[in-house]
Amino acid sequence: LAKTTQPISMDSYEGQEVNITCSHNNIATNDYITWYQQFPSQGPRFIIQGYKTKVTNEVASLFIPADRKSSTLSLPRVSLSDTAVYYCLVVPISSGSARQLTFGSGTQLTVLP
Amino acid sequence: GAGVSQSPSNKVTEKGKDVELRCDPISGHTALYWYRQSLGQGLEFLIYFQGNSAPDKSGLPSDRFSAERTGGSVSTLTIQRTQQEDSAVYLCASSGHLQETQYFGPGTRLLVL
């Protein structure tokens, strides 16, 4: 299982760029890296997914180095509404056990005014 | 279109009683997942259904937990003889396949007194 490790919490101020790094040392060749966001009293919501280098969408960017043993979620110019828990998830591309979909404890991001 | 729905949104029960939690996945999604989230914790995988294949039950914590998926659509998670440690939010998600983005429901908050 590609276990992930993230910081438990992070604080930031409105307007700043926030980078959350996830370690996944045992990632397999065919695994994707996926990030979810969870607000209180809601289910997680997909943010971004990537395999290597850089992926960008309207919400965030995902940076993945060549060795793929870590990834960094970048949130540009955060606002108070970005306060949430962010989960890094390693998803097997090939058929595998759903048991491998380990969300972990995530990173609590708190954006301060 | 409609997202994943779950019912009830809240459930309070007495220790020893059985409870049933329902999940209606997004139409056309063949993969369905159940997770448990205790207060302040990450998501704990419980069970996974994919089409007509045998479910992956590797995450069920005890034989008091079971789940069914009828007609490849609606799923019911049953907890027999509930215990206080079963108190948590039970989240359901669906996707087109194991490797695809999961769409989560709002969850059922279970409180066992």
Tens digit of each residue's pLDDT (9 = 90 or more) over B49-91: 988 888 889 889 999 999 999 887 999 999 999 999 999 999 9
> Tokens 């108190």 identify what position?
B87
pLDDT tens string A62-110: 999 999 999 999 999 999 999 999 999 888 776 566 656 677 779 999 9
Bridge partner list, A38: A85
Residue linked to tokens 């914790």 = B41
Torsion B3-B13-B35-A74 (CA) sign: positive
The confidence score (pLDDT) of residue A10 equals 97
What is the pLDDT, as a whole number, of residue A2? 64
Q: How far apart are CA B41 and CA A84, in angstroms?
A: 13
The pLDDT assigned to B3 comes to: 92
> With an 8 Å Cβ cutoff, is A55 touching chain B?
no
Q: Quick check: helix, strand or coil at residue B21?
A: strand
pLDDT band at A1 (very low <50, low <70, confident <90, very high): low
Q: Does A98 contact B33 at a Cβ distance shorter than 8 Å? A: yes
Question: How far is it, in rounded angstroms, from Cα A82 to Cα B85?
Answer: 31
Residues B31, B48: contact at Cβ < 8 Å? Answer: yes
In whole numbers, what is the pLDDT of chain B averaged over residues? 92
Instruction: Say what the pLDDT of residue B76 is.
Output: 97
Q: What would the two tokens of residue A33 be?
A: 């890296």
- Asked if pLDDT for residue A53 goes beyond 80, the answer is yes
Closest approach of A98 to chain B, Cα-based (Å): 6
Quick one: closest CA in B to A39, which residue? B106
CA max distance for chain B: 38
